Amino acid sequence: MELQLALDLVNIPEAKQVVAEVAEHIDIVEIGTPVVINEGLHAVKAIKEAFPHLRVLADLKVMDAGGYEVMKASEAGADIITVLGVSDDATIKGAVAEARKQGKQVMVDMINVKNMEERAREIDGFGVDYICVHSGYDHQAEGKNSFEELATINRVVQQAKTAVAGGIKLETLPEVIAAKPDLVIVGGGITGQSDMKAVAAEMKQLVQQA
């Protein structure tokens, strides 16, 4: 099991500071959607150049033009690019085809997918690398999480790795780990803590043991 740090509420210099503090305890660093909106793909390039040993995920949440957007993120240095599970099949297939060409990976974010079991099974057949259940900020504000959806995708997904994101904290991590995802994604559960390094270290230890 691996740990991904999601950076959402930072600019490029702040992102570098956070990653420098926790780099030894994470496997993947995510340049979150708000960072890409504010800073563009320059943020992906800057973090990949500063931390070449880390895999960098560009959380573009692609909804259309999958091939083109994966190409641009790949050029900026992203190793993994997110595409939405609610997008058209052609968008996801285009993203996968371009990622294969570029030697990159695609993560499908299942945020707001209504029929999780059916859609996860379909998307798994498209050759994506990760399928991620995700309670976004608006869902989290309603007290929801994705732990049940994780059990669903773990049951039906055969080819892709599974991931889970959305409001995961040190206290809820054991419950998440028990559901056996391949990848745990944590944003505020690390970046919102006063001792980010200590929390990341503890999370990494729990994830590694699983």
- Whichever of 127 and 188 has its CB closer to ligand 5RP, that residue is 188
CB of 142 to ligand 5RP, least distance (A): 13
Among the listed residues 189, 196, 200, 207, the single contact to ligand 5RP using CB under 6 A: 189
At 112, list the tokens: 């707001």
| Binding status of residue 8 toward ligand 5RP by CB under 6 A | yes
Count helices and strands (H / E) in the chain.
11, 8
Using alpha carbons only, give the angle 154, 120, 180 rounded to the nearest 5 degrees.
Answer: 15
- Point out which span in 14-22, 147-155, 166-174, 195-203 binds ligand 5RP (CB under 6 A): 166-174
- Whichever of 17 and 159 has its CB closer to ligand 5RP, that residue is 17
The pair phi, psi for residue 128, each rounded to 5°, is: -70, 160
Rg (CA), the chain: 16
| Binding status of residue 165 toward ligand 5RP by CB under 6 A | yes
* Distance in angstroms (rounded) separating the CA atoms of residues 199 and 193: 7
Interface characters, 31-70, with ligand 5RP (x: CB under 6 A): -xx-------------------------x-----------
| Binding status of residue 181 toward ligand 5RP by CB under 6 A | no
The candidate with the shortest Cα–Cα distance to 152, out of 122, 115, 182, 111, is 115
* Distance in angstroms (rounded) separating the CA atoms of residues 55 and 59: 13
Using CB under 6 A, list all residues that contact ligand 5RP.
Answer: 6, 8, 30, 32-33, 59, 136-137, 165-168, 185-189
